[in-house]
């Protein structure tokens, strides 16, 4: 194997040496700027260009798209799956793993036109120009489709295994769907696009724009696209693998990408991009509310920015929990009976971040006791990698689940989620009842928005909406005893679900709990004159009393409540129903 690798390395060195441009290759462009330089480069790279046909790309990839820079194993270097600082999720052997058919990532590699071939009607020589056609995973290639490249915000509809993503644009000046490669290959993509609009500037007027191309030789791109790609060209400098690919492409095709040989050409033609170094202002007035055993609601006042804020990172005890585009969020996946300090940081499209907001503190409510307490289901226990709609069964946390008409190749927050089409998710029997149920949803495919029906023990207890925007919804259920959860998608619109959780009815039970054979009673009930009295044994040993409203919101905590008397002062409570919870008993009372 080492001998084979050495042979390939020596071959690439030989090809690289032969492929360097002649000393006078760019002489005709010397001293020029603006449109004149662009046209001069066009004439240079048009001469010598040999069209080997669409099928010839497979041969080109044997030298142009090989990994001797990251894994250094000679596999296909795929910008949609390569992880520069970690092991790749999968690798492709040249020729052996050519597409082919594919259904999921890792099936085969395809020919990805960075400028979609539909924009130029699959005409030659564009359709076979290796300088902008990369060997990439078939599935990700298909998901990228004909969308332009740009910055994706929080609305992500597809995420590849190396972090490339499809979603709603936050590139300034464009609000459509875009595809965003990882940072390590943003410059590569930008320079391939700059090559295309230079090499084919005389043909642009006959091409479709695809939301990115211009219809004149200069500047050659839509304003938003030009701004974005010039920024990427500056942000991600030319790498060794990019230079090697340019050399190998020159040996194969007879012309070069001038923006790899000299990235400064971009600034000389279109001007130096304006770098945004101004950070957003600090988010203010962060407040936490409505804690459950595993969630806390947050809201804050928006930041401002000279270009525009694209999102807010939310931290809990110093750990990044989620990113949202609005000024409110429900943080999920928290631990019961845990104190959290939250803060928020704003960010803009250029990666500038604000100072952190003020700290907002909250403590989650009491949690589970085995499966009789609160529960969660993140769907990560489902096995398999196929993307067919079928019946899925799995067990997690001693609860078995069945989900019909379900696929498992999409995700929202965790490594796996489920997508249901005209099907239902059903649990086995769960002890402890349900107080509130929370679910994150998103419609990741075309179609209409809709609602999921939530049934507990066969009774409809509410609905949860789904749309193309990731949304976390909590509904109140308040059913005690053993329960069976069923979530039904009655329509053919595909709803992806993640992070299902629920608080158990026993967390704030409204029936009195007796421990150590001690009985506790409260009086009067309804409460009058803001005074609640408790009768029972060992009252002075009760370390803490908590008062909640029926939504589960903690109203007040009293340490050693009966140290000096058996009375609790309820001044400040408005008329309504409440729950008193201590380390000995829990009971419901009414304030009139």
Residue 176 has pLDDT above 70, yes or no: yes
Mean pLDDT over residues 277-281, rounded? 89
Residue 5 has pLDDT above 50, yes or no: no
pLDDT on residue 273: 64
Mean pLDDT over residues 1-28, rounded? 54
Domain residue spans of the chain: 32-270, 284-363, 370-507, 521-591
pLDDT on residue 180: 96
Which pairing describes strands 544-549 and 471-479: parallel, antiparallel, or unpaired? Answer: unpaired
Query: Whole-angstrom Cα distance, residue 58 to residue 291?
Result: 57
The string of pLDDT tens digits covering residues 433-474 is 888 888 999 998 888 899 999 999 998 989 999 998 888 888
Residue 243, Cβ neighbours under 10 Å: how many? Answer: 16
Mean pLDDT over residues 185-200, rounded? 98
- DSSP letter (8 states) at residue 357: -
Residue 506 has pLDDT above 60, yes or no: no
Residue 373 has pLDDT above 70, yes or no: no
Read off φ and ψ for residue 289, nearest 5 degrees.
Answer: -155, 170
pLDDT on residue 366: 59
The string of pLDDT tens digits covering residues 260-270 is 999 999 999 99
pLDDT on residue 274: 61
Inter-residue contact 222 to 211 (CB < 8 Å): yes
pLDDT on residue 371: 52
Inter-residue contact 356 to 286 (CB < 8 Å): no
CATH topology assigned to domain 370-507: Jelly Rolls (2.60.120)
Residue 586 has pLDDT above 80, yes or no: no
Tokens of 589: 């009372």
Residue 221 has pLDDT above 50, yes or no: yes
Residue 299's pLDDT band (cuts 50, 70, 90):
very high
Read off φ and ψ for residue 211, nearest 5 degrees.
Answer: 80, 0
Largest CA distance in the chain: 99
Q: Which residue has the higher pLDDT, 311 or 331?
A: 331
Closest CA to 589 of 534, 518, 517, 516: 534
What's the residue count for the chain? 592
- DSSP letter (8 states) at residue 276: -
Same fold, 370-507 and 521-591: no
Mean pLDDT over residues 498-507, rounded? 75
Inter-residue contact 196 to 209 (CB < 8 Å): no
- CATH code for the domain defined by 284-363: 2.60.40.10
Q: Output the DSSP codes for 434-478.
A: EEEEEEEEE--SSS--EEEEEEETTEEEEEEEE-SS-EEEEEEEE
Residue 413's pLDDT band (cuts 50, 70, 90):
low
pLDDT on residue 95: 96
Measure Cα distances from 403 to 375, 376, 422, 444, 497 in Å: 18, 16, 11, 18, 11
- CATH code for the domain defined by 521-591: 2.60.40.3080
Residues above pLDDT 90, as percent of the chain: 55
Mean pLDDT over residues 568-581, rounded? 82
Residue 419 has pLDDT above 80, yes or no: yes
Residue 162's pLDDT band (cuts 50, 70, 90):
very high
Cβ contacts of 19-28, under 8 Å, gap ≥ 24:
19/246, 19/247, 19/248, 19/250, 19/251, 20/247, 21/250, 21/256, 21/261, 25/256, 26/258, 26/261, 26/262
Residues above pLDDT 70, as percent of the chain: 90
């Amino acid at each position: 194997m080492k001998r084979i690798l050495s042979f390939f390395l020596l071959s690439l060195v030989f090809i690289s040496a032969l492929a360097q441009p002649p000393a006078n290759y760019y002489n005709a462009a010397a001293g020029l700027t603006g449109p004149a330089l662009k046209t001069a480069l066009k004439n240079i790279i048009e001469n010598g260009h040999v069209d080997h046909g669409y099928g010839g790309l497979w041969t080109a990839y044997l030298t142009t798209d090989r990994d001797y820079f990251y894994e250094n194993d000679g596999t296909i270097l795929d910008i949609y799956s390569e992880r520069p600082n970690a092991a790749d999720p999968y690798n492709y052997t040249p020729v052996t793993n050519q597409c082919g058919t594919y259904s999921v990532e890792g099936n085969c590699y395809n020919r990805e036109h960075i400028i979609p071939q539909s924009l130029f009607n699959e005409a030659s020589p564009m359709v076979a120009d290796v300088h902008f056609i990369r060997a990439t995973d078939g599935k990700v290639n298909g998901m990228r489709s004909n969308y332009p490249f740009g910055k994706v915000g929080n609305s992500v509809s597809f995420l590849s295994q190396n972090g490339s993503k499809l979603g709603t644009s936050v590139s300034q000046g464009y609000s459509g769907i875009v595809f965003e490669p990882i940072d390590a290959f943003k410059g590569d993509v930008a320079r391939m696009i700059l090559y295309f609009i230079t090499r084919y500037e005389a043909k642009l007027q006959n091409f479709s724009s695809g939301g990115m191309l211009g219809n004149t030789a200069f500047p050659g791109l839509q304003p938003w696209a030009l701004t974005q790609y010039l920024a990427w060209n500056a942000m991600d400098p030319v790498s060794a693998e990019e230079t090697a690919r340019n050399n190998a492409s020159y040996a194969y095709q007879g012309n070069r990408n001038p923006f790899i040989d000299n990235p400064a050409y971009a600034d000389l033609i279109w001007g130096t991009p304006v770098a945004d170094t101004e950070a957003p202002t600090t988010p203010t007035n962060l407040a936490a509310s409505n804690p459950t055993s595993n969630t806390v609601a947050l809201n804050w006042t928006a930041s401002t920015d000279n270009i525009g804020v694209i999102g807010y990172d939310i931290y809990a005890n110093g750990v990044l929990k989620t990113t949202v585009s609005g000024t409110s969020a429900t943080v999920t996946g928290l631990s019961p009976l845990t104190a959290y300090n939250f803060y928020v940081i704003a960010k803009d499209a250029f990666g500038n971040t604000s100072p952190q907001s003020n700290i907002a503190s909250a403590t989650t409510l009491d949690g589970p006791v085995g499966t009789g307490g609160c529960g969660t289901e993140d769907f990560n226990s489902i096995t398999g990698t196929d993307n067919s709609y079928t019946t899925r069964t799995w067990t997690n946390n001693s609860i078995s689940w069945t989900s019909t008409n379900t696929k498992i190749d999409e995700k929202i927050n965790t490594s796996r989620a489920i997508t249901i089409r005209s099907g239902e998710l059903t649990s086995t029997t769960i002890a402890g009842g349900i107080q509130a149920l929370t679910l994150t949803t998103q419609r990741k495919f075309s179609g209409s928005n809709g609602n999921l029906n939530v049934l507990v023990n066969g009774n409809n207890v509410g609905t949860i909406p789904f749309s193309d925007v990731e949304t976390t919804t909590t509904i109140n259920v308040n059913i005690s005893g053993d329960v069976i959860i069923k979530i039904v998608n009655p329509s053919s619109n595909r709803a992806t679900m993640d992070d299902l959780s629920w608080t158990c009815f026993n967390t704030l039970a409204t029936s009195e709990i007796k421990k150590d054979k001690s009985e506790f009673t409260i009086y009067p009930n309804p409460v009058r004159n803001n005074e609640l009295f408790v009768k029972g044994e060992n009252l002075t040993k009760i370390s803490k009393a908590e008062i909640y409203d029926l939504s589960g919101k903690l109203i007040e905590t009293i340490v050693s409540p009966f140290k000096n008397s058996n009375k609790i002062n309820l001044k400040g409570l408005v008329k309504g129903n409440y729950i008193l919870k201590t380390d000995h008993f829990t009971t419901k009372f009414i304030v009139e």
